[in-house]
Chain A
Amino acid sequence: MSKFPEIMILDGAMGTELQAAGLPLGGVPEVWNIEHPEKVTDIHRRYIEAGSQVVYANTFGANRLKMAKTGYSVQTLIVAAIGNARAAVIEAGKPETKVALDIGPIGRLISPLGDLAFEEAYDIFAEEVRAAKGADMIVIETMTDLYEAKAAVLAAKENSDLPVYLTMSFEANARTFTGTSVDAMALTFSDMGIDGIGMNCSLGPEELLPMVKQLYTATKLPIVVKPNAGLPDPATNTYNVSPEEFAAIVRKMLPYGVQVVGGCCGTSPAYIRELTKVVREWEAERDAGNTVCPDDFEELTTLRNTRPTGIASASRAVWFTEPRCIGERINPTGKKRFKEALQNGDMDYILGQAISQVEAGAEILDVNVGLPGIDETEMMVRVIRELQAVVDVPLQIDSNKPEVLEAALRIYNGKPLVNSVNGEEKSLSSILPLVKKYGAAVVGLTLDEAGIASKAEERFAVAEKIVSRAEAIGIRRENLQIDCLTLTASAEQAAVAETLKAVAMVHERLGLGAVLGVSNVSFGLPNRDLVNATFLTMALQNGLTLPIMNPNSESMMGALRAFRLLMNIDKNSLAYMDAYRDYVPPAARVSSSAAGPAGAGGNAGPNGTAAAGNAPAHSSIGAPAGDPTAAEIAEKLGDGAASLYAAVVRGLAVQGTELTKELLTTMDSMDIVNGVLIPALDTVGAGFESGRVFLPQLILSASVVQGAFSEIKEHIRKSGNETVSKGTIVLATVKGDIHDIGKNIVKVLLENYGFTVVDLGRDVEISAVVEAAKKTGTPLVGLSALMTTTLPSMKDTIAALREAGLSCKVVVGGAVLTPEYAAEIGADYYGRDAKMTVDIAREVFGV
């Protein structure tokens, strides 16, 4: 009897075999479960006879969307498919053979990649799972989108008790089509309670071998491999690896934790027969102690056994192996501007904060949206969806409310870090089960019912309690990161040393990573950056691994980078050199405030160089020759105003922002808007209308104005005045349409002219447009559509607005629209382009 579990042999290709039996290309294989059951059963039987211990029922595409046109229900097809597989098991006389429900991709991508809602994907998969009475296991395979795979895993786990195996398809670059890496897959699913993880399809065994090794280092789950029979010839559709070669290469994978093997496209019973033979031979050698370990086996096994876990977005894995920055800026605490953004649903501001932190070096972003008066659950879900669509770093979900955490954990595309659980019974019993269910990592705060203990030993005791409670419900301890709590030095000076001591204890005695909200230490002190950076360095030396901090702080990021360099973490100082290659000492800088693209949140960068070589041009920007408006502005408002006008006309963003700042010291902000910026846009717009200026130039000028506007808004905010808006316009790309760059261009230009734009996004439900129009009371709704097929949706949206009795005007735009069609569907205006849409808005609002 072997001390190792027997390697489980799966079947080979179903599709290839069905095609050989007469299924045309593009035909629906699942229909054959009912129309040609004998052929399906025959394929299963031949696989079982060849050695398959598991056969995948012919249900790969049996979801309600793909089956809609077949005339059969999901239930009918799945029941028939499992019945065919069972019949084959009986025919082959091998009753121990298992039958798997096979779940493949839906065929539509989940938003933001496509238009399918995550929840709908879940429902589609759940329907398949519930139909699979009589299956022995569930295999989710050929997934290329981590988000879709997560929906499928949740559906399988929540709707059945069967074992669940997941395999995704990777391309030659070791990523799936949607960019998921082997590590990101491993981290996301290894703690979600599945029974095996791996890869199938897309490549042959030779190409998958390095990825299997990679996966071996990243998960402790049994590994599943189902390669194609090599690579297909695009012309003949035949595969280039023989059964013998196939089995020989798979054999090389077996030492690396592979416990389940089979074949995908191009494989046949001949491949499975050869595979079975080779696998059993290898097992016999292994049991006899005769296998020779591959050269890299020991190194990879050490990595697998010693590397702590980590977290991941869909495309980026972040291991808890070394100090990394968690960006703290997505948090309303003490930030007036951020609070406003939350209250107004201003996602662009929040995204700007996220992007600037990532560009500054944050590897994880904390997300906290708790604010009285807003629905935290709804806001958390919305912000996470927006964030994961544009930034690729993993997120730390920051809330102490279980309902907020659960909603966020569910829709998060990857494995997040939960911030946080603490030693209070209420917290332990409500939050740890969520962490377990969704396979997340969690920050344990060292406080409990008694509050924050003053002594390090007492905080350590709380940490121990959290760890033991987590382990008791099956959370692997490496998924815990302990926050030893930073107290404020100005109030409790002696407490700083206790925090540092607790960090060291957690590091040394628990072997876990430590988290600290670093900047708390300096509240109430002058030159906070100095105190923060010094404390950060001290804490890192004591074992801090995940500082929650402001990555835009040059001194703190500098301390972190230098620490990583000095501790030999940043090998060959590559990251350090990369950050400071063009370093300019502060004394030599002209100004650091103009760095960063317009609207990106004003990231100063690590070295202040962005602005150093780019001094504001003040009066050096000459007005375009022969421009009467320029001359008029120079005469009435001075040279500074004329320079700003010229910067807009010429599309000079950095200068535009600098000049606006200067002008704000001497000029009224609304005079700048109405006297300089809008005339400049009008000049560019007139050029555009006459064909002298092209769209990119118009948008470049618009982005200069955007930068100027953020300065002006900031100025108004500081002076305590209300921002002046010319009115609110609701914009949407209609239901069914996902192309929204045109709408976004219109939005930028409208905002430039001082309008407030409520942007509902793309693929917008008709009811959402009506609701927004009602809520804002806007006099103008703008609708965009790209395709002829989505024009009916535009018509329906207009009809719904009218039916709701709203008096608002509707302007429509988009590639296939004509003025005639616009009139026909009941629109009030046809906006040929962004400029014309602005003119229409000015007419409607009378400004």
Chain B
Amino acid sequence: MVELKPIRMEEAARYLGYGGQMPDETILNLMRECEGPLLAACHPAYSVGIFDMECCSEEEVKLAECALTLTGKDIVKHLVGCTKVVLMAATLGSGVDTLLRKLQKTEMPKALLTDAMAGAAIEQICDDVQAELQRKMPLFRQTWRFSPGYGDLPLAMQDDLLAAVEAGKRIGLATTQGHMLTPMKSVTAIIGLQDMTKELRKVSTADGDEGDMVSAPVGACAAGACAGCAYHDSCLSRQDTATNETSVSKTETEEIHE
């Protein structure tokens, strides 16, 4: 269903608290040792649903032919200017959880590294899903991935989001009583789609400048993702400007949000 590529070590290193640096050779070698078993344990899968935005108030977005209602000011802000909404669920599968459980009992350093690398892997899957979506719908610009629990979008809607893309049946994704995703290396996200044809028309009537809008790459506004995140103050992975100020403080892997 999804091809898993070599894991982006620099991304994993960032999750491990290295900031922009790469780990030393000892750690890098260990990471390379971890990669094979991790890739073997991964069975990545995703499920997406694309819905028309039906109505939108200041604190609520309704989707056409979908039982899910998105609530909160932050999601409304996130979807400003969008006409469609993509609901996405992706997972590395339960094999990774099993591998991590076993490593935590036998080789803690590898457990730590594998955990971070799995975090990088699931993000890669999400990026690939978005890139695929971009190929299929080139006339739409995608927002960054907004997840339940960010800002004032309740984590409790996780269950309804899974139901809307039939994630249980299609990719084996479930939630815990506290609405956490299981398998643990999984992501759910809401991506807004802006109709570029409409945007371009609007922009060109305004000042005739079309180039900026067209050239904006997928995920260009990813830095904006940090503002609404529950981990904003403590996360090392922040891409907004404040990251530099906080990245000197140490973090544990748990601080890597999924």
Contact = CB atoms under 8 A, between A and B. Distances in A.
A640 B185 CA distance: 44
Interface string A168-202: 01011100111100000000000000000000011
B4 interface: no
A689 B93 CA distance: 35
Given A815-B231, A815-B234, A738 B94 contact: no
Given A24-B67, A700-B109, A744 B234 contact: no
A739 interface: yes
A833 interface: yes
B164 interface: yes
A548 interface: no
A742 B253 contact: yes
Contact of A108 (B98, B160, B174): B174
Contacts of A265: 169
Residue among B65, B115, B178 having the largest count of chain A Cβ atoms under 10 Å: B178
A234 B47 contact: yes
Given A695-B252, A789-B155, A745 B175 contact: no
A301 interface: no
A37 interface: no
Given A105-B168, A742-B252, A815-B252, A736 B18 contact: no
A699 B23 contact: no
Name the interface size band of chain B: 35 or more
A228 to B, nearest CB: 10
Contacts of A813: 252
Contact of B231 (A26, A599, A816): A816
A352 B164 CA distance: 42
B252 A696 contact: no
B178 to A, nearest CB: 4
B230 A695 contact: no
Given A600-B106, A741-B100, A815-B231, A115 B182 contact: yes
A739 B109 contact: no
B254 interface: yes
Contact of A178 (B65, B94, B176, B235): B94
B231 A703 contact: no
Contact of A699 (B112, B176, B182, B183): B112
A355 interface: yes
A821 B40 CA distance: 40
Contacts of A351: 105
Contact of A703 (B107, B161, B248, B254): B107
A814 B97 contact: no
Interface in B89-135: 93-95, 97-98, 100-102, 104-109, 111-113, 115
Interface string B163-198: 111101101101111111011100000000000000
B149 A694 contact: no
Contacts of A688: 250
A736 B94 contact: no
Contact of B253 (A26, A390, A697, A741): A741
Interface in B131-157: 136, 149, 155
Contacts of B94: 109, 113, 177-179
Contacts of B174: 105, 107-109, 114
A166 interface: no
17 contacts: A25-B163, A25-B164, A26-B164, A114-B182, A116-B177, A177-B94, A177-B172, A178-B172, A597-B107, A600-B106, A689-B250, A694-B27, A695-B253, A699-B108, A742-B254, A789-B155, A833-B250
B76 interface: no
A26 B178 contact: no
B182 A113 contact: yes
Given A109-B94, A179-B98, A741-B111, 18 more contacts: A24-B65, A25-B163, A105-B174, A109-B182, A113-B97, A177-B45, A177-B171, A202-B169, A351-B105, A651-B26, A694-B23, A738-B176, A744-B111, A745-B253, A788-B230, A789-B179, A816-B230, A816-B234
Interface string A566-599: 0000000000000000000000000000000111
B62 to A, nearest CB: 11
Contacts of A112: 97, 101
B217 interface: no
B178 A737 contact: yes
B251 interface: yes
A744 B172 contact: no
Contacts of B251: 695, 815, 833
